[in-house]
Amino acid sequence: MPYHLQCDKDDCRHTEDVEIIDETMIGKPCPKCGSNLLTKEDFIGFLAIYPKIQEMEAAAVEALAVGLGSNEGMALVQIGFKDNEPWMTVEVPPERKS
């Protein structure tokens, strides 16, 4: 599953999809404004929650494998860590809301 780096500058919020987050990305400049896409503090926080992210990813893959069918209409879940705080967003397509 891809991961996302997000610019630290409030009025920019540029995001980039990456396949892996590693130490070489610390201090990577935002292509739009030059601010950090990944701080050392955020990287350390990411490492702390990474095992839980892996568990959630594995559970999602397993749920699809046991018969939920295609992912059409499924909710989009994003998990991250910013400013020493974990965050999660869930976007449910209108056809799935009751």
| Domains of the chain: total | 1
| Secondary structure class of 8 (helix, strand, coil) | coil
Is residue 81 within 8 A of residue 45, CB to CB? The reply is: yes
Residue 23 lies in domain? 3-96
Q: What is the pLDDT of residues 75-93, one digit of tens each?
A: 666 666 666 666 667 676 6
Neighbours of 45 (CB within 10 A): 18
Is residue 18 within 8 A of residue 43, CB to CB? The reply is: no
Q: What is the pLDDT of residues 33-78, one digit of tens each?
A: 999 899 898 888 888 877 777 777 676 666 555 544 555 556 666 6
pTM: 0.59
| Neighbouring residues of 29: CB distance < 8 A, sequence distance ≥ 6 | 35, 36, 37
Nearest to 27 by CA among 3, 7, 13: 7
